[in-house]
Structure 1
């Protein structure tokens, strides 16, 4: 996610603050607050939590300067909601788009795997970046051999047609799929493949090496700023869908190989790795926090004021929480705002129309009083001096603007996005409106560059997922996302257009090498979809018609 200057500072402040909250509010820690040891059983990987917090807070404001992303009150609201979700151990709901005849997909996959059983079973399949990378020969293979672990290496000096079937069988039967994304290749087909395997819930180990920036050389060619952004967003999407399955993503290959050996030795899943393996666990990655802030914000802005009275806040509180503020709680708020002792207010009529609250103060009140228990009481007071100092270092306050919430839809209009991409407005939406079908258009809102839990929920609450990959975009992130939901067994319709020599991709002409890489990804996605019985089209209108038909007959 691009948040402008100071993004690293913002995320660092948020992470530190979340660590403080987990130790101050969520019980004693089993290890150090900061450092490489994360043994607190209540502190999990919070990457997507932070991204969602920042994105939603930005969308609930008029951000006039970089870094003006989150207030203390919003932070308190997010952290208390996060804790409540953890305490309740909220299960992941099944996607509405899940195929009712998923057994057919499972049967096809089972048949393919059974047909592959005739070949020797390797413990590890070494997927990911190939030529010109050397990570297999120089690092992975020596370590695996030293530990007596069998492996299949798809990177060969002389390729032959019969290797296609052998590689396929090795991939189907391997105990662990080990994928490395090296910055020296575009990784397009590998991203799509890994996203699919995560959806199939295979034992997957992923190592990611970030691209350095525009101008980096790939196959001797300097990538443009737009290509750098597209490839980086692709890696982010893969990371997000992998972590959505509770699978950690590694940044260092030796560490990943050691964990792979443990997975095989102890018959574990990557999700079982923890602090003792120097891996920060990922738990409940599907939890949504942003919708709570949006609901509160929408109720607040309906008052058409930058401040509301405590009497109005009392109504907003009930709308959001389905609970009433008690007389005692109202007395506490009045005392804090008026600077009086609570005893002075006993028996007196509370001046609810004379006490004014900002949106930030309202967030603090909801965070403090919504879930009444000894540990969550007095958030406003407990953290004002400690956590607010941390947040104040990077996160100043800002004004608000109205934002609307969205619910489930018939069709999710996924796929290529960009200023030159108009298929949604010119083709899909008119056809859907004609048939009275609802839709969710991810291109209509501000894009975070990440698959936030809120957006994932919108996808999973759509009956049909339509992905259109146009020949005017690289489409890496969109293809990875489509591949993942095919792997999950969801009701997907694809339109995949190959890039031609004449195509302008986001206004740029692709080199022969780049054209080959992006079309290889399209071919892999199409082939995988065909194997799973997913309809694939070249014509956008035909794809939309298929999605409509699925909605009307389902």
Structure 2
């Protein structure tokens, strides 16, 4: 089917489907739910939904731009093709697997893992990392790898060529440096790994589980001079496309439209109500031929006899409703598609010719409100819910939001998003990422009660300008 969702998109869809269907398990999708999932992904691939604008960064651009000074590289520093980053002692993946394979492939590398490390090596590591063509990171389960997870998230946001391997932790009681980890620490470390994978996949970068496979992909990227995002299934990589797109909210909207017309609470809609719900969701009417197709599928009746069946006599449940919407939502006429093409070309013309002049006039003639979007920034189409503050940071065993932040924000009349209320906090699902994008200020508090690895990984990505 050529669908390439991220792990967080699948997780989001499973959780939303569980809530919409009011079932106990989030381990499967029904056929109708999968149809929504698949058709929405296909639609996004075809139309190329752009990444949402981050309001917090736009406000920074609105003021004086602070230019980052690039550090000058010393002349004569050797350039390695691969930097072997990630988990260090006591791991042996570099000596046992990576270095022998790289030598056989004729690829130069820098190994930061030494028996006696000192501060004087910091600059050498930095220079090697800056000059390397590929950053090869392994997040192993033999160490906590807190710093490596944060660094990998930062490097992915910098658009560096990153090859990432993640080895999941075995579970509570697993020993790290001879110490069994508690269930709380296991949850913290695992959440950090999952959020790191979500952040990397949002850049279109596949995440690996096998070091040898990742090394073979590294050789291909170097040999063919391609991006990591170009790796595919034939390379034993799991490609990811448009991981920023929200999918679960589409199912929620279908459920809301269905429930609004199911006034008796029977769990079924007559075909007339299906037509109404379809128009609410798509702003289009189902055609006569569409209705006949639905009737034929429901009853097995074909031909002229279809016309004799009243719409009110046919009922569909939510599962069938999802399949109907998925099938007919994208069935637009050629005239409509041609009109969309004309509009797209007209829009590009306006953006290149008319829009720059309009922006200059707007800037010159009218003052801008305090929290208005800077000129040239398109509004986020994924969600219209804009808030002043996103309350990020440590969640478990903390009360700083309820005790301090929320009362002060309410007193000041500021809106906020509290991710702690979300039951799906183990992953950075697109819905929560959109809440971050649609907030003017990102407030992160890292307490001493937990390691907050996931929150620090998010912060490292947000630090990239």
TM-score range for the pair, normalised by the shorter chain length? 0.7 to 0.9
After the TM superposition, which residues 154-233 of structure 1 pair with which residues of structure 2 at under 5 Å, given as runs?
A: 154-233=112-191
Contact kept, 8 Å, 2:14 with 2:26, in 1: the verdict is no
Comparing 186-195 and 165-174, the one that deviates more = 165-174
Measure, in 2, the Cα distance between the counterparts of 1:301 and 1:69: 22
Measure, in 1, the Cα distance between the counterparts of 2:144 and 2:230: 30
The question of 1:71 aligning with 2:30 is answered yes
1:424 is aligned to: 401
Measure, in 2, the Cα distance between the counterparts of 1:72 and 1:302: 23
2:336 is aligned to: none
1:389 is aligned to: none
Measure, in 2, the Cα distance between the counterparts of 1:127 and 1:359: 49
The 1:269–1:253 alpha-carbon spacing in structure 2 relative to 1, beyond 3 Å, is: same
1:14 is aligned to: none
The question of 1:124 aligning with 2:82 is answered yes
3-state SS of 2:165 partner: strand
State the Cα deviation string for residues 266-324 of structure 1 (Å, max 9, x = none).
33221122244232322222222112111111122224422233222222211111111
Measure, in 2, the Cα distance between the counterparts of 1:151 and 1:373: 53
State the Cα deviation string for residues 18-50 of structure 1 (Å, max 9, x = none).
xxxx2xxxxxxxxxxxxxxxxxxx343553442
State the Cα deviation string for residues 149-190 of structure 1 (Å, max 9, x = none).
332222221122211222222222222111111111001110
Contact kept, 8 Å, 2:436 with 2:442, in 1: the verdict is yes
The one of 66, 70, 95 aligned to 2:54: 95
Measure, in 2, the Cα distance between the counterparts of 1:117 and 1:242: 32
Contact kept, 8 Å, 2:229 with 2:239, in 1: the verdict is yes
How far did 1:87 drift? Answer: 2.0
3-state SS of 1:92 partner: coil
After the TM superposition, which residues 399-548 of structure 1 pair with which residues of structure 2 at under 5 Å, given as runs?
A: 407-418=385-396, 420-447=397-424, 449-487=426-464, 489=465
The one of 264, 267, 271 aligned to 2:225: 267
2:271 is aligned to: 310
Measure, in 2, the Cα distance between the counterparts of 1:62 and 1:156: 54
3-state SS of 1:284 partner: coil
How far did 1:366 drift? Answer: 0.7
After the TM superposition, which residues 326-365 of structure 1 pair with which residues of structure 2 at under 5 Å, given as runs?
A: 326-338=287-299, 340-346=301-307, 348=308, 351-365=310-324
Over the aligned positions, Cα root-mean-square deviation in angstroms equals 2.5
2:330 is aligned to: 371
Aligned length: 412
Measure, in 1, the Cα distance between the counterparts of 2:66 and 2:270: 57
Contact kept, 8 Å, 1:116 with 1:172, in 2: the verdict is no
The question of 1:291 aligning with 2:268 is answered no
Stretches of structure 1 lacking an aligned partner (at least 5 in a row): 1-21, 23-41, 375-404, 490-554
State the Cα deviation string for residues 485-521 of structure 1 (Å, max 9, x = none).
223x2xxxxxxxxxxxxxxxxxxxxxxxxxxxxxxxx
Contact kept, 8 Å, 1:335 with 1:345, in 2: the verdict is yes
Measure, in 2, the Cα distance between the counterparts of 1:193 and 1:212: 23
The 1:79–1:429 alpha-carbon spacing in structure 2 relative to 1, beyond 3 Å, is: same
1:391 is aligned to: none
2:351 is aligned to: none
How far did 1:131 drift? Answer: 0.9
How far did 1:117 drift? Answer: 6.1
The 1:459–1:121 alpha-carbon spacing in structure 2 relative to 1, beyond 3 Å, is: same
3-state SS of 1:184 partner: coil
The 1:62–1:276 alpha-carbon spacing in structure 2 relative to 1, beyond 3 Å, is: closer
Measure, in 2, the Cα distance between the counterparts of 1:60 and 1:181: 36
Contact kept, 8 Å, 2:83 with 2:134, in 1: the verdict is yes
Measure, in 2, the Cα distance between the counterparts of 1:485 and 1:457: 13
The one of 278, 283, 295 aligned to 1:322: 283
State the Cα deviation string for residues 179-221 of structure 1 (Å, max 9, x = none).
1111110011100000010111111111111111111110000
The 1:116–1:288 alpha-carbon spacing in structure 2 relative to 1, beyond 3 Å, is: farther
3-state SS of 1:190 partner: helix
Comparing 170-179 and 99-108, the one that deviates more = 99-108
Measure, in 1, the Cα distance between the counterparts of 2:77 and 2:217: 26
1:50 is aligned to: 10
Bigger relative contact order (CA 8 A; separation at least 6): 2
1:390 is aligned to: none
State the Cα deviation string for residues 361-384 of structure 1 (Å, max 9, x = none).
21121112111169xxxxxxxxxx
